Chain A
Amino acid sequence: MSVQEALPLGGVAAGQPDQFRADHVLVAEMVKPGSKVLDVGCGEGDLLQLLETRGVDGRGIELSREGVNRCVAKGLAVVQGDADTDLVNYPDDAFDYVILSQTLQATRQPKVVLENLLRIGRRAIVSFPNFGFWKMRLQLLIGGHMPRTENLPASWYDTANIHFCTIKDFVELCDAIDVKMERAEALDLYGRPLRLRMPWWVWNLFGEQGVFLLTRGGRK
């Protein structure tokens, strides 16, 4: 399987049914081949494995011991660690990209984590579930209960996600801490990018998750 076959430009999920998650394919597409990448909250290493097929020098941090051990047993360079406490150990500019995939909302200090991502990495790629997604809004508005979706099935009392935000919230945070967006994508419920250029409020309503390629701003 060549990289080109794996990563068609449009309709990313098509042709790659079960092998890699659509949002992972999109993230991998944002990474230049041959670069050095840290995946924070790498789970069982699926994204790192995908990146390795692109000749990326990938490393991972994962909170759960089971996840770490599965990654290491796949031959991946993964260590047990916590995004909130362990990113400080990494030096400035250690990586070309630092990836935080579906993990931001589970950190205690998302702002500090985001700042660390862009200190360690020249670029950061952040994806998170959009709490402004219409289904979420509808459940709160009509159902009157905390939203649950296919991708976020946990109840409020046992979820690890303590800092939900909307795409709009995230855009505002990036602006506040001088982070520049090089690229932004919203994905639908099936992980397919909403390819059309649309205003933020549309993405904020119809994007089930957001994926952002970030770099340091130039204000300071």
Chain B
Amino acid sequence: MVGVQSISSPAITADERSHEVDHPSSQVAQFGAEQPLRLDCGVDLSPFQIAYQTYGVLNADRSNAILICHALTGDQHVANVHPVTGKPGWWETLVGPGRPLDPSEYFIICSNVIGGCMGSTGPASINPATGKVWGLDFPVITIPDMVRAQAMLIDRLGIDTLFAVVGGSMGGMQVLQWTAAYPSRVFSALAIACSTRHSAQNIAFHELGRQAVMADPDWHHGGYADRGIHPHRGLAVARMAAHITYLSDAALHRKFGRRMQDRELPTFSFDADFQVESYLRYQGSSFVERFDANSYLYLTRAMDYFDIAGDHGGVLAKAFTGIQTRFCVVSFTSDWLFPTSESRALVHALNASSARVSFAEIETDRGHDAFLLDVPEFLDISRAFLQSAGKARGLTAKNA
């Protein structure tokens, strides 16, 4: 990724990625005509499939299942090598042997969200009605739709009550939606760096990203798949803009400052003179290798529409009335995408519902991305919360 002139073309071919779309290297739950997915937009999606990974063993009581909900650009490969990129799982700081979510203790499930296109049905899948890729004919999906599909998967796995639902960012939105929609099926909820509604600023950033994708001539109004191309330039720009929002001024300054990339003096050109430029271009081009452009449009849209209070007469506390779920809410001081004030509003609503809630703000300069990184205080709190909930659930903790 040294001194690139512009955003480089993907190193991984579209074939490798598109193979994962309908034939993933994960377990798949198929739902036929008799089990359509009722979408908020009014469409019954059928047939559809959900791809998922599991770690650990479900105990005899079926009481140790944890569902992990992934963020916007995540997928089900939470703690295993990614089949397309070959990189480690995206949440190996939290999930794995000796980690707070230890597969020797819990049965851990992570599914690709509906619309996610890493094996779960989405705009890159084949529309069985036409035999062609869905593209923009795919119905618009919402966070509640994602959760409804996950609930169908959990039913299929024979699990009634999840011991915990865990997620950050868009994953945290799904956690909150789980508790609002299926309170009795969620024993404990760990909602990290998220909000009960997407803010105007965040919608604005998403619109910027979508417009970048749509402005790419290779996008073809979403019909690029039929032409065997991918709007990787537009998607890379979208990713670059979004990536800035995941970091913080302090983190960028610490990592790059004004340092030059493999040169002493400015070139007086638009080459990537600065390390931060080179880094962003790399982030953009590596992202397009593994992510479908239309899927990015659909998932960002789902986040934009998210507003739990709006679904409950504008009163957030009504979403959680009488809830027995144990909550842990975590925010990070330098996260300006989902700032602490958003978590605090959630905590106030949970207090008003007399819910059992823990809320910790972690001091870090690593921005929104902190939830994916090795931040010991966050990991300690996650571990303690789950152990305390496990005690209440009657689970025997091995690494307590």
Instruction: Report A's interface with B, CB cutoff 8 A.
Output: 57, 59, 65, 68-69, 71-81, 86, 89-91, 94
Chain B hits for A74, CB < 8 A: 384, 388
Chain A hits for B388, CB < 8 A: 74-76
Contact B356 A57 (CB under 8 A): yes
The chain B residue with its CB closest to the CB of A68 is B360
User: With A89-B351, A89-B352, A90-B351 known to touch, is A75 a contact of B360 (CB < 8 Å)?
Assistant: no
Contact B351 A79 (CB under 8 A): yes
User: With A75-B385, A75-B388 known to touch, is A80 a contact of B360 (CB < 8 Å)?
Assistant: yes
Among B326, B358, B362, contact of A79 (Cβ-Cβ < 8 Å): B358
Chain B hits for A80, CB < 8 A: 344, 359-361
CA distance A65 to B381 in the complex (A): 13
Nearest CB on B from A93, distance (A): 9
Among B354, B361, B381, B384, contact of A94 (Cβ-Cβ < 8 Å): B354
Contact A72 B381 (CB under 8 A): yes
Looking at chain A's contact residues, is the secondary structure mostly helix, strand, loop, or mixed? mixed
B366-398 interface with A by 8 A CB criterion: 377, 380-381, 384-385, 387-389, 391
The chain B residue with its CB closest to the CB of A57 is B356
CA distance A74 to B400 in the complex (A): 12
> Does B323 count as interface, using CB distance less than 8 angstroms?
no
User: With A65-B363, A79-B347 known to touch, is A72 a contact of B352 (CB < 8 Å)?
Assistant: no
> Does B253 count as interface, using CB distance less than 8 angstroms?
no
Nearest CB on A from B384, distance (A): 5
Nearest CB on A from B196, distance (A): 15
Among A69, A77, A86, A91, contact of B356 (Cβ-Cβ < 8 Å): A77
> Does B221 count as interface, using CB distance less than 8 angstroms?
no
Chain A hits for B391, CB < 8 A: 75
CA distance A187 to B124 in the complex (A): 71
Nearest CB on B from A55, distance (A): 12
CA distance A65 to B380 in the complex (A): 15
> Does B260 count as interface, using CB distance less than 8 angstroms?
no
Chain B hits for A89, CB < 8 A: 348, 351-352
Among A57, A79, A90, contact of B352 (Cβ-Cβ < 8 Å): A90
Chain B hits for A69, CB < 8 A: 360-362, 377, 381
Contact A73 B352 (CB under 8 A): no
CA distance A57 to B348 in the complex (A): 19
Chain A hits for B359, CB < 8 A: 68, 72, 78-80
Contact A77 B351 (CB under 8 A): no
> Does B58 count as interface, using CB distance less than 8 angstroms?
no
CA distance A57 to B362 in the complex (A): 25
Contact B358 A77 (CB under 8 A): yes
> Does B328 count as interface, using CB distance less than 8 angstroms?
yes
The chain A residue with its CB closest to the CB of B389 is A75
CA distance A59 to B347 in the complex (A): 13
The 9 A-B pairs of least Cβ separation, nearest first, read A75-B388, A79-B359, A89-B348, A72-B360, A72-B358, A75-B384, A73-B384, A94-B354, A77-B356
The chain B residue with its CB closest to the CB of A59 is B356
Nearest CB on A from B320, distance (A): 12
Among A57, A75, A81, contact of B387 (Cβ-Cβ < 8 Å): A75
Contact B380 A73 (CB under 8 A): yes
Chain B hits for A57, CB < 8 A: 356
Given contacts A74-B388, A90-B352, 7 further A-B pairs with CB under 8 A are A59-B356, A68-B361, A72-B358, A73-B377, A79-B347, A79-B351, A86-B351
Name 19 interchain pairs, CB-CB below 8 A, sorted by A: A59-B356, A65-B360, A68-B359, A69-B361, A69-B362, A69-B377, A69-B381, A72-B328, A73-B381, A74-B388, A75-B385, A75-B391, A76-B358, A78-B359, A79-B347, A79-B358, A79-B359, A80-B344, A90-B351
